[in-house]
Structure 1
Amino acid sequence: MVASESGKTALKVAKALRGLDVNVVCVTAYAGVRRPLGGEWPQINGEKREKLEEFGVKILDEARWIFGCTFDYAFLKTHTPSKAIHMFLSRTMGYGFKTAVEIALIAADVGAVPTDEEVIAIAGTGRTGGGADCAIIIKPAHVYGGEFIDLEKGAEVKEILALPRLKFTDYMIRKIKESRSYL
């Protein structure tokens, strides 16, 4: 699976894997993220969407992101701040790592990937300069009901295939400082 807001990265992955017996899943922004910011939704549309569909790519553009305001109480029935999880994973492992874990959970929740097999998740710092710079092998799990944190059935990163040494691009650092926000 691959995180791709424009579909460009998903198309590169689909082309690279053409002819292999693999399923490609693209997780992208949902309407609740795009529309309030004045963005177009679905974000992947037109020729790019048609091309992805020709390659058999499953596009997930209706699933909520995991590490956001809906995560804390709705899923865990506790007040663990998901922004803190987001900040911690992004700062220690990189934004792509956080996103790779997140898209694996999203894809599992909507049934796009199995929860009893390992999958590859690709993500990164995208248009802020790093591109798809992280790839992990993960056994995903469902978020609802807390399965993803269960010791036996939970999500587990099995291997890190690629992880950037530079966790934030100069552009990201400048924007963070300007907003006086951690992420």
Structure 2
Amino acid sequence: MSFSEKSVFFFDRPGKENSHDAAKIAVKRAQELGISTIVVASTTGETAKVFAEAMEGTDIHLVCVTHTVGFREPGVWEFDEANLPYFKEQGADVIMGTHVLSGLERALSSNPKVGGGSRTDAVAETLRRTIAIGLKVAVECTLIAADQGKVPADSEVIAVGGTAQGADTVCVVLPANTARYFDLQVREIVAMPRNR
């Protein structure tokens, strides 16, 4: 029998108050496994800044995945563009992409003329409800980053998501492109909220 023992961290409740601890946990796990990339969901850039600060002095590369223009309001990008020079100086990538596990599917399923859930909605809800909202976010951001060529195709990454704001879920993921969704592997859940 072969196995390894790892620590899993559980936050008492979800939310942005966990972001600093999630960043420390993510960096530590990346260093333990020799992982070179951390993918972080960050709508405005504030959560990604917490991670960039925690990564200072390491060789870990930050990929910040943010909402697309028009996600909440037509023509509006929620990312604070004043943060862009900071991320450029840090060598981080700031990318945006359509939410893989919703996007067009949500437009169809929420439309009363079309109505009904979709298979994509079922995948998203399964990740959200049975494990953690942040896991759905982390998986989705990894798919977006893979589709844009910002993560290694054959190496694990640390993927980070949260519940509404901030970061509260950290996992180790073997990335895949959206078209190969079932090749993606969540290999470890390193931290998550215990109560959701």
TM-score scaled by length of structure 1: 0.74
Distance, in Å, in 2 between the alignment partners of 1:59 and 1:85 is 26
Select the structure that is richer in strand.
Answer: 2
Q: Which residue of 2 aligns with 1:156?
A: 185
Return the letter of the residue paired with 1:163. M
Matches within 5 A, 1:80-99: 80-99=118-137
Return the letter of the residue paired with 2:162. G
1:32 is displaced (CA, Å) by 3.7
Q: Which residue, out of 77, 86, 90, partners 1:41?
A: 77
1:42 is displaced (CA, Å) by 5.7
Distance, in Å, in 2 between the alignment partners of 1:71 and 1:55 is 35
Q: Does 1:57 align with 2:92?
A: yes
Q: Which residue of 1 aligns with 2:171?
A: 136
Distance, in Å, in 1 between the alignment partners of 2:168 and 2:45 is 16
Matched-pair identity in %: 38
1:71 is displaced (CA, Å) by 5.8
Contact 2:40 2:159 in 1 (8 A): yes
Distance, in Å, in 2 between the alignment partners of 1:44 and 1:58 is 14
1:65 is displaced (CA, Å) by 1.1
1:92 is displaced (CA, Å) by 0.7
Stretches of 4+ aligned residues off by more than 2 angstroms = 69-72
1:34 is displaced (CA, Å) by 3.9
Return the letter of the residue paired with 1:64. T
Structure 1 alignment gaps of length 5 or more: 73-78, 168-183
- RCO comparison, higher one (Cα < 8 Å, 6+): 2
TM-score scaled by length of structure 2: 0.70
Change in CA separation of 1:52 and 1:97 when aligned onto 2, cut-off 3 Å: same
SS at match of 1:160: strand
Distance, in Å, in 2 between the alignment partners of 1:95 and 1:161 is 15
Residues 87-141 of structure 1 show CA distances to partners (whole Å, capped at 9, x for unaligned) of: 22111111101101111111001100011000001111143xxx31100000000
Q: Does 1:108 align with 2:146?
A: yes
1:80 is displaced (CA, Å) by 4.8
Return the letter of the residue paired with 1:17. M
Note the aligned Cα RMSD (angstroms). Answer: 1.9
Change in CA separation of 1:126 and 1:21 when aligned onto 2, cut-off 3 Å: same
Distance, in Å, in 1 between the alignment partners of 2:178 and 2:123 is 15
Contact 1:69 1:82 in 2 (8 A): no
After alignment, is 101-110 or 27-36 more displaced?
27-36
Return the letter of the residue paired with 1:140. P
Contact 1:120 1:137 in 2 (8 A): yes
Residues 61-104 of structure 1 show CA distances to partners (whole Å, capped at 9, x for unaligned) of: 2x2110114369xxxxxx95212222221111111011011111
1:25 is displaced (CA, Å) by 0.2
Q: Which residue of 2 aligns with 1:181?
A: none
